[in-house]
């Protein structure tokens, strides 16, 4: 393809829970083209969620081709590739052929709840948390890997012999992009598996033994930025392009929001909503049921850590209103519908459709809509859904401020639902803090691009990236403390009922 543009570019692949997005980013950090594609979700049993690795790969190939075509650049102008991904989702594939050996088990899947409960009953949770910064919950990768290997003697044998590769989605994409040359994962993704020690930043032998995961099948843990691998044997990209940035989606968003200083925080509104706060080069272990995680590690530098809290269902609640209840035709319709009423009319929705995440950690909790009367309409349910998306973030932020022993003044937001002005105003009202939305809300993809660009020297340091970041709009609270506390009290009571 003839190039119509000059210059150097970064290709960023954002492999998410429901689809894949690819961006082309120029030397000034501007997005010049993008492409996205959704793929099929699989729900074989109640509470189980799976993905087909081959469909994921096809979505990557398609979006990369489309993005490059729309950018009107040549592949020779691509200086590096950044990968960001849905975290905790686990795949297993053949090391020689690269062929998937089982459907991937998605982070939302609750099939390993019994394993986690048994390990808790045996008294393992405290030391696991001290080693990993995580809770014993089906959300994380280790029990998913354990389940996979117990489900099939053939898979277990292949994993122990190293013939099968096991990893999160970043590992799978790096493996395929490198033609099988690299089985790697970066520290941010490894920190989500329950298998990496937060202090050594390596696989922990005691954890591997506890979860019965052989080291032979696991990827090598790398930096988040640097020359990590090279493309090889692809139909849609030439050999030799550096894979130079990798980070889990939430850590990539924190990086893309230029939250480079301790105390800076962001919230990403995606399938779930996830808040991360930069805590600097030392891990802070939560006393309020939050997670301690690696943010990133730049080449030659110390790792940066973060506190994290995630609500499993955020945008997924809107999708349920659209597909399950059919109250709206398109997800974007929810703002218009919710604006038909001044408030939720006493309706409270707890979207525990896949259990409750931080800071409650109730995998058995189920969704609840309460406070209904004959006077309520679908508009009230839509408004209650937006309130729920905001209120569950307040629970997380309250816990985060207790752990940090400091108040946060500004929350940077991104993700698809951050375009919803009503939701952003409800968020500012419910937490009594400023909500700041950037000009580029696809911070996850942008973070992957920034990491990749740093890895190949397109940008020299994070100071340059900090100057690129721009705010588009700020939202300030419009309600008083009494009104806020009343609304949060009603929400808290509903959460307790959903947990019964």
Phi and psi at residue 340, to the nearest 5°: -70, -15
Reference 452, options 35, 20, 22; nearest CA is 22
For residue 372, the model assigns a pLDDT of 95
Residue-wise pLDDT for 442-474, tens only, equals 889 999 999 999 999 999 999 999 998 889 999
Which of 54, 24, 56, 52 is CA-nearest to residue 38?
56
What are φ and ψ of residue 211, in 5° steps?
-95, 0
Buried b (16+ CB within 10 A) or exposed e, 16-41: bbbebbbbbbbeebebbbbbbbebee
Beta strands in 282-409 (DSSP E): 291-296, 304-311, 348-350, 368-370
Q: Is the pLDDT of residue 2 over 50?
A: no
Cross-sheet strand order for the sheet of 78-85? 31-38, 19-26, 9-15, 78-85, 242-248, 225-230
State yes or no: pLDDT of 485 exceeds 60.
yes
In a domain, 353, yes or no: no
> Between helices 249-256 and 443-455, what is the axis angle to 10°?
80
Residue 4: the pLDDT is 63
Quote the CA–CA distance of 360 and 113 in Å, as a whole number: 15
pLDDT for residue 289: 87
- Total domain count, the chain: 1
- Does some domain include residue 467? no
> What is the percentage of the chain residues whose pLDDT exceeds 90?
82
pLDDT at 291: 92
Cis bond before residue 359 (omega within 30° of 0): yes
Pairing of strands 184-186, 220-222: parallel
pLDDT, tens digit, for every residue of 70-119? 999 999 999 999 999 999 999 999 999 999 999 999 998 989 999 999 99
**According to DSSP H, which parts of 92-168 are helical?**
113-121, 125-132, 141-151, 153-161
Contacts of 119 by beta carbon, 8 Å cutoff, 6+ apart: 125, 128, 136, 143, 210
Q: What is the pLDDT of residue 83?
A: 98
**Contact assessment for residue 410 and residue 437, using Cβ atoms and an 8 Å cutoff:** no
Distance CA 42, CA 106 (A): 10
If we measure between CA atoms, which residue out of 256, 269, 167 comes closest to residue 220?
Answer: 167
CATH at 179: 3.30.420.40
Distance between CA atoms of residues 168 and 171, nearest Å = 5
Q: Is residue 499's pLDDT more than 90?
A: no
Strands 78-85 and 304-311: unpaired
Distance, in Å, from the CA atom of 11 to the CA atom of 454, rounded to the nearest integer, reads 13
Whose structure tokens read 């117990």? 150
How many Cα atoms sit within 13 Å of 312 on the Cβ side? Answer: 29
pLDDT at 416: 85
> Strands (DSSP E) along 281-423, which ranges?
291-296, 304-311, 348-350, 368-370, 410-414
The answer to whether the CB of 253 falls within 8 A of the CB of 445 is: no
Dist. CA 291–CA 412, nearest whole Å: 19
- Identify the sign of the CA torsion 262, 266, 267, 269: negative
Over residues 325-375, the pLDDT tens digits come to 999 999 999 999 999 999 999 999 999 988 888 888 887 889 999 999 999
- Alpha carbons 111 and 130: distance in angstroms, whole number: 25
Read off the tokens for 132. 């990993």
The residue among 435, 444, 330 whose CA lies nearest residue 393 is 435
- What average pLDDT score do residues 309-326 get? 91
Coil, strand or helix: which one is 366?
A: coil
Least confident of 290-294, 304-308, 319-323, 400-404: 400-404
Task: Tell me if 152 is assigned to some domain.
Answer: yes
Domain for residue 60, yes or no? yes
Domain extent for 202: 9-249
**Domain contains 468:** no
Q: Is the pLDDT of residue 1 over 80?
A: no
- Comparing CA positions, the residue from 60, 84, 72, 85 lying closest to residue 9 is 72
> CA–CA separation, 143 vs 424, rounded Å?
36
**Quick check: is 184 in a domain?**
yes
Token pair 């922990």 is found at 204
Domain membership flag for residue 446: no
Position 451 in a domain: no
Which position has the token pair 């429901």?
A: 18
Among residues 428, 444, 448, 426, the alpha carbon closest in space to that of 436 is found at 428
Q: Which of 138, 139, 135 is nearest to 125 (CA)?
A: 135
């Amino acid at each position: 393809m003839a190039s119509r543009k000059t210059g150097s570019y970064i290709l960023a692949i954002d492999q998410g829970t429901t689809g894949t997005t690819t961006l082309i980013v120029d030397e000034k950090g501007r997005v010049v083209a993008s492409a996205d594609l959704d793929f099929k979700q699989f729900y074989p049993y109640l509470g189980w969620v799976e993905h087909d690795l081959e469909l994921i790969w096809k979505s990557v190939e398609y979006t990369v081709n489309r993005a490059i075509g729309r950018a009107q650049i040549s592949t020779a102008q691509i200086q590096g590739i950044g990968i960001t991904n849905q975290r905790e989702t686990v795949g297993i594939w053949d090391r020689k052929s690269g062929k998937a050996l089982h459907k991937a088990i998605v982070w939302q899947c609750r099939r390993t709840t019994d394993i986690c409960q048994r390990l808790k009953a045996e008294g393992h949770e405290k030391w696991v948390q001290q080693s990993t910064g995580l809770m014993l919950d089906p959300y994380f990768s280790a029990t998913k890997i354990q389940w996979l290997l117990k489900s099939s003697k053939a898979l277990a044998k292949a994993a122990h012999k190293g013939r099968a590769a096991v990893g999160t989605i970043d590992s799978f994409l790096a493996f395929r992009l490198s033609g099988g040359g690299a089985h790697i994962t970066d520290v941010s993704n490894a920190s989500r598996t329950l298998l990496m020690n937060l202090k050594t930043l390596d696989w922990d032998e005691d954890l591997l033994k506890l979860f019965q995961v052989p080291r032979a099948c696991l990827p090598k843990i790398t930096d988040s930025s640097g020359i990590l691998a090279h493309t090889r044997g692809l139909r849609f990209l030439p050999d030799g392009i550096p894979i130079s940035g990798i980070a889990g989606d939430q850590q990539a968003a924190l990086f893309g929001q230029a939250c480079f200083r301790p105390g800076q925080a962001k919230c990403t509104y995606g399938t779930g909503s996830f808040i991360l706060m930069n805590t600097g080069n030392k891990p802070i272990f939560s006393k309020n049921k939050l997670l301690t995680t690696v943010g990133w590690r730049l080449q030659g530098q110390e790792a940066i850590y973060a506190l994290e809290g995630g609500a499993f269902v955020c945008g997924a609640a809107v999708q349920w209103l659209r597909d399950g209840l059919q109250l709206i035709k398109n997800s974007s319709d929810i703002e218009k519908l919710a604006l038909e009423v001044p408030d939720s009319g006493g309706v409270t929705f707890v979207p525990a459709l896949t259990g409750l995440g931080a800071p409650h950690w109730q995998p058995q909790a189920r969704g609840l809509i309460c406070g209904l009367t004959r006077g309520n309409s679908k508009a009230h349910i839509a408004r209650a859904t937006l309130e729920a998306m905001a209120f569950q973030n307040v629970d997380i932020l309250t816990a985060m401020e207790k752990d940090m022993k400091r108040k946060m003044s500004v929350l940077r937001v991104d993700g698809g639902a951050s375009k919803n002005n009503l939701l952003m105003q409800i968020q500012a009202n419910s937490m009594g803090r400023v909500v700041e939305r950037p000009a580029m809300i696809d911070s996850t993809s942008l973070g992957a691009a920034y990491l990749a660009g740093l890895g190949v020297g397109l940008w020299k340091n994070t100071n340059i990236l900090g100057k690129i970041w721009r705010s588009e709009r700020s939202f300030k609270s419009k309600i008083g403390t009494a009104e806020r506390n009343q609304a949060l009290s009603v929400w808290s009571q509903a959460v307790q009922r959903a947990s019964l």
